[in-house]
Amino acid sequence: MRLWIILIMVVIGVGALSIAARLAFASPPPQAGTMAPEFTLSSQEGNQVSLKDYRGKWVVLYFYPKDMTPGCTIEAHNFQRDQDQYSKRNAVVLGVSVDSADSHKQFCTKEGLNFKLLADTDHKVSQAYGSVMNFGVTEVAARNTFIVDPEGKIVKVYTGVDPKPHSTEVLAALDELEKSTAH
């Protein structure tokens, strides 16, 4: 009987470790000070969007798990609410998830979003940004954000973002970054 109990505890322990390993990030995100990995992805409008298209602007590149889920909807609404503030700062917001462009289109239509959501269906961009999370048997984008400066360099990295205050945090960071580059 004791052997069975020990065996069950070992199996449970190995299972828990396996789940924890699958929830871990596949690779670390790129760090501030490095060039942002280039990419080209389809937007909700079906257009190809490349990071290099935004040279000369600040880019808020945010990764999120899934269209039409509560946290992702809150985060998207807050970025939408603040679009005028981003424009005043010469910044553009780009959202990335592993959902399809059609899913993004439905999400934008339902939630009234007019900034670009990009479809990373092969997960390559999410991997390049260390933003893939294995969630059981499926992969989703981890809730990470990168601020990319007008020259294409990552200047700020957020991991494990809280969706509610995030847009406000990013706007404050853009203000600080703008001050530091003005000197």
Residues classed as catalytic: 72
Could you give the angle at which helices 101-111 and 70-81 cross, rounded to 10 degrees?
70
Query: Alpha carbon of 80 to those of 45, 47, 114, 145, 164: distances in Å?
Result: 17, 20, 7, 16, 13
Query: Alpha carbon of 88 to those of 51, 83, 123, 169: distances in Å?
Result: 20, 9, 32, 16
Describe the strand order of the beta sheet including 40-43 as a list of residue ranges: 48-50, 40-43, 116-119, 91-97, 58-63, 145-148, 154-158
Q: Which two tokens stand for residue 158?
A: 């957020």
